[in-house]
Each structure stands twice: as structure tokens, then as C-alpha cells.
Structure 1
Amino acid sequence: MRNGYSAAQIREAEAPFLERGVPLMIRAAQSLAEHVTSILPAPSESRVLVLAGPGDNGGDAAYAASFIANAGVKVQVVAVSGRLHEAAEAAARDEGAEILLDAPPESAAALVAGADVVLDGVLGIGNGGAAAGGTPALRDPARAFVVAVKEAIASAPDPAPIVIAVDMPSGIDPDDGSVPDPDAVIKAQLTVTFIGVKAGLLLEPAASLSGKVWLEPLGASQGLLRVRPEVSLP
């Protein structure tokens, strides 16, 4: 049985841990970095492109960049909104990651060529979904970056970079799996999701854009033990 939870249920489950100061973002970033480095044939000869938003999802991605860079990988972090999670940005800089705060979308797209992995950390469950009165659709300038990078991946020579989504592909509804702006969603080969699988990852059309979904509980999934899933699939 595959169980999926709403964004609201995940937030409620993680809240006690955050209140106690449990470093869930660092745990998420470490797990992301392990997934990325495990698929690189030679870290010192590899390059990873990170698309990061300014919120917690981008913080996960930027902190992951610090751990990936520490492993000897060349890492470039593109701030799709012109700014990053402050502490995560500092950590990535300290480990030697290249931080691009003012690069235009076409420059980010040019970095796709030759990259081994593209890490999608633009938007997670922060905006909620339609059920919460929000929309997962990206807005400019972030949307322009995602569209440009998506086109670059589609036209990249083989082997194209592997796309790994942070928690979920940016631009999908975490609750019902709808995709309000398909042109601005990058299809992932792997989605590393945290605490609990988001319901939207199990539902079409988002499921077809999420690739293999890998759950990292982060030591906080017990917050969902008495919660009835929004979606249960065989």
C-alpha cells in the first residue's frame, strides 16, 4: 500500500520537531547529497546544477549543494528569484559552490550542457495547493528559469543530465497532483520526498512527472502514525 499525505498533514507532523529545534533541513540536505553523489561516476570530474528558490525547498537544495561540493563535485547554484535561504547560501559558499544570484534564465540554461545532475529545488509545499487556497504554478522570474532549463534539458545531447526533484517537482499540486502550468514543470527521474509521500506524487498527471519517488523520513515520520492518508493506493 502506498500512502500519500496532504501538505497540511506534513506541516502538522513536522511542527513539533521544528519547535524542538530538530534540524530537519540539514537532514533533508544530507540525504539529497547522498542521492546525488551516489549516481556520479567520478565526483571530482562531475558537475551539478542546482535551481534554488528562496524558501525552505531552496534551503534544502542549497544546503545539499554544500555537502555535494564538500565531496569534491563542482556545484553551481542558481537563485531563481535572485536570493537564497541565507544560512544555506553561506554554507554552500563556504564549501566552494558557485552561487549565481543575478544570472538570467538563458545563462542558467547554458549550464545544463555537460551537467551530470540538475537538482530542482525551486518550490516545495510552501504555497500549498488548491485545497489550501493556493496554487503551485510558478511565477516569474522563477517560471522563466524553469522553462529555459526544461528546454535546455530536452535539447541536451546524450547523456542528458539526471533531474532530481527536492521533495516534489516544482509546479505540481502537492495534494491532488494537478499541474496548472505543464510548460513550467521539469520532469524528474527521481523525487526525494521528506517525512511522508505527498499525495500529489501518487496521482496523475504529477505522478508521470515525478519519476521514482524515494521517501526520506528524516526521523519525523512518526508524526504521521495516527494520521489518515489522503490517498492510499495498492
Structure 2
Amino acid sequence: MTAEPLVAYSAAEIRAAEAPLLAAGEPLMQRAAAALARELWLLLPPDRPGSVLLLVGSGNNGGDALFAGAELAAAGVDVTVLPTADRMHEDGRAAIERSGARMLSAGTDPQAAASIASDCDVIVDGILGTGTSASPALRGRARDIVAAILPVLSRKKSPLVVAVDLPSGVHPDDGSVPDPTALAADLTVTFGACKTGLLLAPASHYVGRIAVVDIGIGPELARLTSSG
């Protein structure tokens, strides 16, 4: 059986579909994080707890990673959090701190981060999201960390990379990758619907397998696109 082609939407369409649900108090982040945690479980070794490194930016993708990581840590997975910005999602931070995960300093040396990455099973890229679509290239500390980790991924035995919603550094609409200092994912867990840019080169070379998870925005997306 041939798989049906993915239907893709722009970042603006996704945000417009989310807006009324968020205003109504729908737990979209909790749904996204739970789905991300399920996908991560499937990649961890079955015979031991496994280890996960979360690369966490300041936005909602970082929040998704934190909540998913908290669920894994509470179940016994060795979870390490590396902030790539000076701040992070506050509720997600509280959840990860309660879970007992290891929290690194935002000033952790990039080479130390690379050493940690080399010993883990999965790296979770929660650095940037669709809100950075105007200029998706990594900058500053986040770029330095990714640059240090990239050589780790070229080794014969390397951790898997899971992107939260989209790989950081790719444009969600036009698929551009303005700076090749970006983590190529083995799996991109994208929420609500596929983003158009994930299907376009060169971004399509960074996404790996795409898992679209339902967070409840489908009816609103259909209404918006049919009325447009």
C-alpha cells in the first residue's frame, strides 16, 4: 500500500488554528509533549533505561521538550537538560526540576556538551520553533553548542536526533537552511500538521522521518483553509 502524501500548512496557518484553542484553554502543549515522549520511548533501548539530552531554547518547542523529558525522567530515563538560551519555558522548567532530571548551566562549555551528547542515546532538538521563521539560523550559544555536537553525529556509533516540531535552523515555510550549522534529525515529531518547509529542499534533508501527531487542531485548520 502506498502511503498518502502529507498535507502541509504554513506556520501562520498552524498558529491561526491554534489561537482559538489556546484562548479556550485547550492543553495543546501537554498533548504535544505527551506525543513527543511516546515517540522518544520507542527510540530508547529496551534492555536499559536509556539516556536523553535535551537542547532547550526559550520558546514553546523548548517547553514541549521539557515536559516530555520530565515524563521520561520520572519513569527512570537518564535525562540531561542543556539550556541554549538565558531563559526557558517556566512551567516546563518546574516540571523538569520536579522530575529529578539533571539540569546543566546555561554557560556549559560547548565541548563539554559534545562529550555528554556522545554518551547519550537520543538528542532532542528543542532549540527553535516556527516563531523564528523570519530568520531561522542558529546564533550565539545555540550555534556554538550545535557546532560542537555535529562531529559527534558523524561517528559510526552516534546518538539519534529527534527534532521537536521542526529541526532548528530550517525555515518552516520555504524549506531554506541559511546556515548548515543545524542538527539533521533522524525523526521530526511535528505537531498538529506537517509544516510546508519540511517537505522542501534543503530542509527535507534535515528532517529524517516525519511523525505528525494530533493535538486537536485539525478541525480548525480545515475550517480556516476551506474559508480561505
Runs (4+) off by over 4 Å: none
Q: Which blocks of at least 5 consecutive residues in structure 1 are unaligned?
A: 129-133, 230-234
Q: Distance in 1 between matches of 2:23 and 2:47?
A: 36
- Relative to 1, partners in 2 of residues 1:43 and 1:86: Cα closer, same or farther, differing over 3 Å? farther
Aligned partner of 1:121 in structure 2 is 126
Does the 8 Å CA contact 1:43/1:71 hold for their aligned counterparts?
no
1:196 aligned to 193, 196, 201, which one? 193
- Size of the aligned set, in residue pairs, is 221
Q: Distance in 1 between matches of 2:111 and 2:192?
A: 35
Q: Distance in 2 between matches of 1:150 and 1:6?
A: 28
Q: Distance in 2 between matches of 1:150 and 1:226?
A: 41
Q: Which blocks of at least 5 consecutive residues in structure 2 are unaligned?
A: none
Letter in 2 for 1:26: Q
Q: 1:7: how far off?
A: 0.7
What CA RMSD, in Å, does the superposition of the two structures yield over aligned residues?
A: 1.5
TM (norm. structure 2) is 0.92
1:85 aligned to 80, 89, 93, which one? 89
Q: Distance in 2 between matches of 1:161 and 1:58?
A: 19
1:108 aligned to 106, 113, 116, which one? 113
Indicate the percent of aligned positions where both proteins have the same amino acid: 45
**CA deviation digits over 1:187-223, x for unaligned, max 9?**
1010000011000001111111101111012112221
Aligned partner of 2:136 in structure 1 is 136
How do 1:1-234 residues align onto structure 2 when only pairs under 5 Å count? 1-42=5-46, 44-101=48-105, 102-128=107-133, 134-155=134-155, 157-158=156-157, 160-182=158-180, 184-228=181-225
SS in 1 for 2:138: coil
Aligned partner of 1:131 in structure 2 is none
Q: Distance in 2 between matches of 1:44 and 1:141?
A: 32
TM (norm. structure 1) is 0.90
